[in-house]
Chains A and B, each alone.
Chain A
């Protein structure tokens, strides 16, 4: 069973430098145990060829993707893994129920769900990385539709290529949000040879448009 770090749940709740008090802590415990009963982790991975066609344009499998952010992330890559992961509908239902009676509980469940799906992604990512390294390759930081200037329209391609609906039960709304809400799609670029840790270090924060005033940032700023 995937298990996120407790501090991740706290971070999603807005706690950074301090820890929650006993009341909130025991509610977090309660929400984790409720969530664990209904979480159904599932994911799918496929590998596609990548080539940089022109400045800010990548060809990924049969797709032509225009994005400055993804280009910078993958310009040196030859292949990419694309994956989708979800923890299922259960947590969404728990959140809907909680919202009627307790906003606090609904928020804690949101945080717990987010932390679980992120932990699942970390696991999938780790697996992709391990397999790449076995072949003497290295991976770029994972990059999702909606990061920076990478269009959400790509969700439709993820849905089709990964058979997200049939394989994972993830569907898209008209505005390209995923249902279940605790689902993630992402690319993990793969390049031949090793590269410096600085180059591959996960720093989702610095590349984000909301870097300046995000309350979920992993960095503790004054």
Chain B
């Protein structure tokens, strides 16, 4: 018989209907796991499968929706194998051995992935891999991943299927009325990611009835290049006497499905509440309708878990600041594992208007793959912007692409065969938009003709690796005009020819053009305008550079890429012209002097800013103070006394938590300024301490408050984060010879992990003191689990540390 791969997308295929509803009618109770019936009642499961095959379904799912290790442990193999056997026998009994297929059905794990939940991406892939291996081994014809409400989990399942079998894989997701996944992804971002990962068909199932699905189906058809699958419920769920039921009957269901079929989908079937009768009507009628295959879409999209950025319409700004090149403070952050500093660089660029963030964490003395994975994970926990993974380390690249939640941009490949052969296989496997530098074994061509030749070579290589040409973005290469004044012209010609002759997208690291010149932003901003006019699709630049942003918004307005000039007006309606800039500055100058005098009077501007919780003020004043005074003196005479004042007020109940935190934030900002100025020189620390939220606990704001306070008071904090196993805490304590560990727990249930950690510490590192705190902690609890100290708040913990290590 023809394999499903030969028919999918070339002719109508019909999927089966709901499983749960059928089994419940046959006596499956609310608390029972449906998959257990593969062993307990194989006859009933087989009857359902057979009825679906007989009704005309070409693809029938195995009863394995919830079959995974988390629910079935060692029994998994037996349950999945039985399900495939039952379906194959049902197909035989229905006489459809030659024209119907058994799909290994895979549903969600039931757990939410990190960073929102507590299941790691790698564990999710392992869980799915196990199911795929068993199901494919038992003889399923395809894999159907369905009812996924989290894009990240869909990726884990699809990757597992692709890595562990050669069968075609269909992925259908659950969208809400607005076409969004539970975790935020849209139809377009989800399709972009799944196609990049090699899904053989994509679609929608469950959650909605056919009527509500129509707008989603429209969007699917408009963005997908692979076949589209639509499996709705029999309407929206209704409640009667505590039971859920669906009320769209077979005829009504067919009416909507005919409308959906006419829109141009390729596979349809049903989900919850649909019966073999629904499927029979569907199969009988849909197959008579004209079949339209999906068309290839020329959409180049980079996505995060929730946002898509389309390349090729309006020039996209890629923030370049997450990069250690030429930045001492950034290098220090990398060496010290200071992830927050890096995240802050990301969030700042987001606020400044970047659309995508470039991520480069390469430094010879650090483990780049580890750092890249850590930073990408952390960034996608806090920003909705897509990322551009920027590295020459292939291991780092693969690790980042694997755990990336979306379709990333990859920086970069070039015309060198060796680089093509190492980078392109990864892009072919994981999907991504690939930046291609037009240089090769002979270096960088000094003319556009040769650059275009290399671009063509890269496109051809992409064809060979199965990477769609739309996913290649050509870097026209920016060389400084200070060494060759013709270089800008060559770059611009390259951009223009890629656009006009190759119909491709382009990218530039814009500010390279002015290297070695004074007033670089003048050259950069003007060059950006010229590049945009020559078709530049993506500008890698610093969104914090105002002249460049001015050029960006002005050029968009001039090129008719800013509807009604709304973006331009929004940004510059209160713009102050150059000629008037002097007056304004003079005004604030006077006010500033007055403020300076005032704060001088109340004893130290830095101290005053910290006391009043003024973050920017504290940073500014510290910068000023550093010009005339040594940093240690500022810490001892201003920062610490100010913090102490506020801390004492808090202890006495005169200052409330918000004020304490405001001052802590302000002090942190001041310390950050001092830290930048002290690079290289030894910093005074009282002691190194570990802070961690114990295993099982995933909320850590309390611990973070303690961290900032401790750092402000001169402690070096090793922050192990949240959900930390006892072993990790103990190992770190031994390795770093730590004398004080602070543990936080939020729930009574996780106090147990706290107790375990303390026991293990006592055994392996007896000279280490333990302070505990957290929402449920009390002195009694602390005593009962053998802690040395109960910190009722952050100040109390600081005081305790000072009593151990000297104030």
**A interface vs B, CB < 8 Å?**
13-15, 18, 20-21, 23-24, 27, 46-47, 62, 89, 92-93, 95-97, 99-104, 106-108, 110, 146, 152, 160-161, 165-166, 169, 171-177, 179-181, 210, 213
Contacts and interface: CB of A to CB of B under 8 A. Distances in A.
A210 B776 contact: yes
Nearest to B344: A100
A95 B701 CA distance: 9
A99 B748 contact: no
Given A23-B613, A23-B662, 6 more contacts: A13-B658, A103-B665, A106-B704, A152-B748, A169-B182, A180-B116
B354 to A, nearest CB: 15
B603 interface: no
B696 interface: yes
Contacts of B697: 175, 177
Nearest to B239: A46
14 contacts: A14-B657, A15-B656, A24-B662, A27-B658, A89-B116, A96-B115, A96-B381, A103-B701, A104-B662, A152-B748, A169-B149, A175-B695, A175-B750, A177-B696
Interface string B654-666: 0011110110110
Contacts of A213: 778, 792
B705 interface: yes
B658 to A, nearest CB: 5
Given A100-B382, A106-B704, A152-B747, A13 B662 contact: no
Contact of A179 (B112, B746, B750): B112
Contacts of B343: 100
B699 interface: yes
Nearest to A107: B661
Contacts of B778: 210, 213
B242 interface: yes
Contacts of A96: 115, 381-382
B222 interface: no
Contacts of B656: 13-15, 18, 20
A172 B118 CA distance: 9
Nearest to A177: B698
Given A104-B658, A210-B776, A97 B347 contact: yes
A8 to B, nearest CB: 15
A103 B748 contact: no
A222 B699 CA distance: 31
Contacts of B776: 210
Interface in B119-138: none
Contacts of A106: 701, 704
B110 A47 contact: no
A144 B749 CA distance: 15
B444 interface: no
A20 B658 contact: yes
A110 B344 CA distance: 20
Given A13-B656, A174-B696, A62 B31 contact: yes
Nearest to B614: A23
B665 A174 contact: no
A19 to B, nearest CB: 10
Nearest to A62: B31
A15 B340 CA distance: 29
Contact of A108 (B182, B344, B658, B749): B658
A15 B344 CA distance: 30
A63 B704 CA distance: 39
Contacts of B518: none
B183 A89 contact: yes
Interface centre among A15, A89, A100, A174 (most CB of B within 10 A): A100
B117 interface: yes
B27 interface: no
B615 interface: yes
Interface in B382-403: 382-383
A18 B659 CA distance: 13
Secondary structure class of chain B's binding surface, majority of residues: loop
A179 B613 contact: no
Interface of B: 30-31, 108, 110-112, 115-118, 149, 182-184, 242, 340, 343-344, 347, 381-383, 613, 615, 656-659, 661-662, 664-665, 695-699, 701, 704-705, 708, 746-750, 776, 778, 792
B155 to A, nearest CB: 17
Given A104-B661, A152-B747, A171-B110, A47 B701 contact: no
Contacts of B748: 146, 152
Nearest to A213: B778
A99 B704 contact: yes
A176 B111 CA distance: 11
A166 B748 CA distance: 28
Contacts of B746: 177
Nearest to A102: B665
A101 B664 CA distance: 11
A92 B347 contact: no
Contacts of A152: 747-749
Contacts of A107: 657-658, 661, 701, 705
Give the top 10 A-B pairs by smallest Cβ distance, nearest first. Answer: A175-B696, A104-B661, A171-B112, A173-B118, A14-B657, A169-B182, A103-B661, A24-B658, A97-B382, A100-B343
B106 to A, nearest CB: 16
Nearest to B272: A166
B163 to A, nearest CB: 25
A214 B206 CA distance: 45
A102 B347 CA distance: 12
A99 B657 contact: no
B694 to A, nearest CB: 10
A177 B747 contact: yes
A175 B119 CA distance: 12
Nearest to A165: B110
A172 B184 CA distance: 19
A112 to B, nearest CB: 12
B657 A13 contact: yes
Contacts of B116: 89, 92, 179-180
Interface centre among B657, B659, B664 (most CB of A within 10 A): B657
Contacts of A93: 382
A161 B30 contact: yes
A24 B659 contact: yes
B416 to A, nearest CB: 38
Nearest to B699: A181
Nearest to B793: A215
Contacts of A181: 698-699
Contact of B665 (A95, A104, A210): A104
Contacts of B115: 96
A179 B746 CA distance: 14
B236 to A, nearest CB: 12
Nearest to A47: B242
Contacts of A62: 30-31
A175 B344 contact: no
Contacts of B749: 152, 175-176
Contact of A174 (B118, B657, B792): B118
Contacts of A102: 615, 661, 665
Interface centre among A18, A97, A175 (most CB of B within 10 A): A175
A171 to B, nearest CB: 4
Contacts of A92: 116
Given A107-B658, A152-B747, A174-B696, A160 B31 contact: yes
Contacts of A165: 108, 110
B340 A103 contact: no
Contacts of B117: 171, 173, 179
Nearest to A152: B749
A152 B696 CA distance: 13
A185 to B, nearest CB: 14
Interface centre among B242, B658, B661 (most CB of A within 10 A): B658
Nearest to A12: B657
A210 B781 CA distance: 11
A27 B614 CA distance: 13
B708 to A, nearest CB: 6
B661 A110 contact: no
Contacts of A97: 347, 382-383
